[in-house]
Structure 1
């Protein structure tokens, strides 16, 4: 980007009342700077990792390290051996809402799983009896399967079906459903990537409609008293707060959960407890995240093992 577009400036004014904050946000997108590399330890951390680690944030889980600028963890033997997974610190922020879950989680379902970071985070934190990672886009499956296998995520299954399939076949069955929703990807600009048309209203509207369909199908497979985590890597309120408000109207049995350790990141665009990170704060490219609980008191349904075994696309690890 050579100069801020009118659409970017319009969004910026919606996101920030403070002019100085507006300027910092636009600058972070037009002239992106590198963020600290970040790793999630899947196996026990060696006594000597060889990495220089930054001071952790208060909400940062113990199994995540933010490294010195310039570190290249993906080029090490520990990475090849599956000791850790490399991810953006914004993803850690988004997934940290799962720290608020204080009950046993036997079954985790990640609806839009590739390349696997949120699946791996949930597996490491919650140690479920089974992780099911779904990815509907075929060309992204190989990366997902490779990362889960390399990081020794077990027991896990990879499946590839539209969200509507699961809404019909396995309702009320998952203790936690994660929806890291496909979006316009506006935060990729803060990483120096090109995202043509990401601020255009038609692109935003198309993305928001897709997100509503996915989250509605995902809500139907959350077990009674289970959780639904929704997150994006974009800034538009139409893809974030407005999707949440739409969900709560359509499924009134769901309630948004206050995540105490993220209270300083509360979005001012809604009264719903949901949280945002922005690139000008130098922690990550940006993220939106919210945790819902299904307050329905009915019985949890068991997943048909034969059905799942018939659709998984990797060997059960």
Structure 2
């Protein structure tokens, strides 16, 4: 791999005697990882059922390395949302942000969703997760991964951070800012990042990051925690950004992060900054089995002003959701709070318990998309299936991982199945995949066409 001369000279000046080891890391294979979705399965259980050759990642309790010749994204368990394919170092930000059940959490630069899905798993169906990405196109990938993971208490937005700030001043308990960056830490994983670095450079991203971290800081509650991360090495995008926040807002302090073998500390000497910057963490590809990353955990000191954000204004006139109630009564063993149901153009959503007022924001999803009311009948959505467990369905079609029918179902084929008439939650080894409807022992395949096995 040919690195830009300017980049090599810069890294040699920063790393000094470590530079050669860093350069030699490009001659080694990159590492591949999956992160287990604890909303659906625990890591110890997954280890017992998987046929993948995996090894534990030391900084992520639910992360595993896998061999590069394997294809975990072409496996039914992936389609069941049991895990997310993620570069090992990229697991650190969401893993190191201490989420508590009931928190209001913002993932500010969230696409394609690897970090949001971990934050949602930590919330375990409680509190609120707002996942945002300024790119509407990238936010669509984020939406798919949120739904595939079975997260039901999220709002997905596509806004610049300043627009979110207008809606959510001092609102969030926890914020993750995985900032857009020059991507130096991913050159080995994705050589195409080199061209972007040459075209835009670190100065372009540094200016963006300074704006983003200030706006994010203003959205954090007093005593809240914010984790800032990048996948780049440049001090201008890392220590300098943290130093900028601390100078602008002295109420922020840097908190200690876990130090795993091979992790490095922040480098205040690279930006003539405070010794506190040593509490930041740097990940280098020549020191760990992963790519490059930077992390800083920040706490906002002070007291809340006591102002609560205005809640969501539900429709003044509530409709009777007869079709939805009939479907649930016939097919599921769950209870919904019908005060949280909202129907928009026949599409049915189950809004988060602490739904804020989001009027004026560009939204891709509010809460759990349950399905659609069509000609006085309810048609359940793929997202509805993924947010359920098999035990919550009164009737399931459960294939084992070794049955050919699993792949045929995921490809959208019609199947012959001996079962009673009606709606079925289709599962693999008791983990939901989607819906099917049986008539005369024929399973009409309701697996969402946009997700089909290709």
Whether TM exceeds 0.5 here: the answer is yes
In 2, the alpha carbon distance for the partners of 1:279 and 1:300 equals: 45
In 2, the alpha carbon distance for the partners of 1:304 and 1:15 equals: 49
Q: Which residue of 2 aligns with 1:51?
A: 52
Contact 1:32/1:189 (8 A) holds in 2: no
CA deviation string 1:147-188 (max 9, x = no partner) = 000111121110111100122221111000111100111222
Contact 1:113/1:134 (8 A) holds in 2: yes
Displacement of 1:38 after TM fit? 2.4
Q: Is 1:305 aligned with 2:311? A: yes
Contact 1:188/1:285 (8 A) holds in 2: yes
CA deviation string 1:95-133 (max 9, x = no partner) = 3322xx386551111110000111112222343411110
Displacement of 1:203 after TM fit? 1.9
In 2, the alpha carbon distance for the partners of 1:263 and 1:217 equals: 33
SS of equivalent residue, structure 1 residue 252: coil
Q: Is 1:314 aligned with 2:365? A: yes
In 2, the alpha carbon distance for the partners of 1:90 and 1:121 equals: 14
SS of equivalent residue, structure 2 residue 16: coil
Q: Which residue of 1 aligns with 2:395?
A: none
Displacement of 1:258 after TM fit? 0.6
Q: Which residue of 2 aligns with 1:60?
A: 60
SS of equivalent residue, structure 1 residue 220: helix
Q: Which residue of 1 aligns with 2:168?
A: 170
Unaligned 5+ residue runs, structure 2? 269-274, 313-356, 369-454
Identify the match of residue 284 of structure 1 among 287, 290, 295.
290
Q: Is 1:207 aligned with 2:208? A: no
In 2, the alpha carbon distance for the partners of 1:55 and 1:263 equals: 14
- CA, structure 1 residues 161+136, in 2 after alignment: closer, same or farther (shift >3 Å)? same
Structure with greater contact order relative to length (CA < 8 Å, sep ≥ 6): 1
Q: Which residue of 1 aligns with 2:326?
A: none
SS of equivalent residue, structure 2 residue 77: helix
Count of residues in Structure 1 that have an aligned counterpart in Structure 2:
309
> What is the RMSD of the two structures over their aligned residues, measured on CA atoms?
2.3
- CA, structure 1 residues 22+300, in 2 after alignment: closer, same or farther (shift >3 Å)? farther
- CA, structure 1 residues 143+203, in 2 after alignment: closer, same or farther (shift >3 Å)? same
Equivalent residues in 2 for 1:181-220, closer than 5 Å: 181-199=179-197, 203-220=201-218
SS of equivalent residue, structure 1 residue 313: strand
- CA, structure 1 residues 110+167, in 2 after alignment: closer, same or farther (shift >3 Å)? same
Contact 1:223/1:300 (8 A) holds in 2: no
SS of equivalent residue, structure 2 residue 29: coil
Identify the match of residue 35 of structure 1 among 22, 25, 31.
31
In 1, the alpha carbon distance for the partners of 2:238 and 2:207 equals: 11
Contact 1:37/1:71 (8 A) holds in 2: no
Displacement of 1:282 after TM fit? 4.8
In 2, the alpha carbon distance for the partners of 1:34 and 1:251 equals: 39
- CA, structure 1 residues 269+304, in 2 after alignment: closer, same or farther (shift >3 Å)? same
Contact 1:172/1:222 (8 A) holds in 2: yes
Higher share of residues assigned strand? 2
Identify the match of residue 115 of structure 2 among 114, 118, 124.
118
TM-score when scaled to structure 2? 0.63
Q: Which residue of 1 aligns with 2:9?
A: 10
TM-score when scaled to structure 1? 0.89
- CA, structure 1 residues 313+201, in 2 after alignment: closer, same or farther (shift >3 Å)? closer
Contact 1:73/1:79 (8 A) holds in 2: yes
SS of equivalent residue, structure 1 residue 145: helix
CA deviation string 1:242-299 (max 9, x = no partner) = 1011111111111110113348624351231111111223521211111101112124
Higher share of residues assigned helix? 1
Q: Which residue of 2 aligns with 1:83?
A: 82
Q: Which residue of 1 aligns with 2:134?
A: 136
In 2, the alpha carbon distance for the partners of 1:219 and 1:263 equals: 30
Q: Which residue of 1 aligns with 2:256?
A: 258
In 1, the alpha carbon distance for the partners of 2:102 and 2:306 equals: 12
SS of equivalent residue, structure 1 residue 298: coil
- CA, structure 1 residues 263+50, in 2 after alignment: closer, same or farther (shift >3 Å)? closer
In 2, the alpha carbon distance for the partners of 1:103 and 1:89 equals: 23
In 1, the alpha carbon distance for the partners of 2:174 and 2:261 equals: 22
- CA, structure 1 residues 148+201, in 2 after alignment: closer, same or farther (shift >3 Å)? closer
Contact 1:186/1:195 (8 A) holds in 2: yes
- CA, structure 1 residues 36+284, in 2 after alignment: closer, same or farther (shift >3 Å)? same
Q: Could you say which structure has the larger radius of gyration?
A: 2
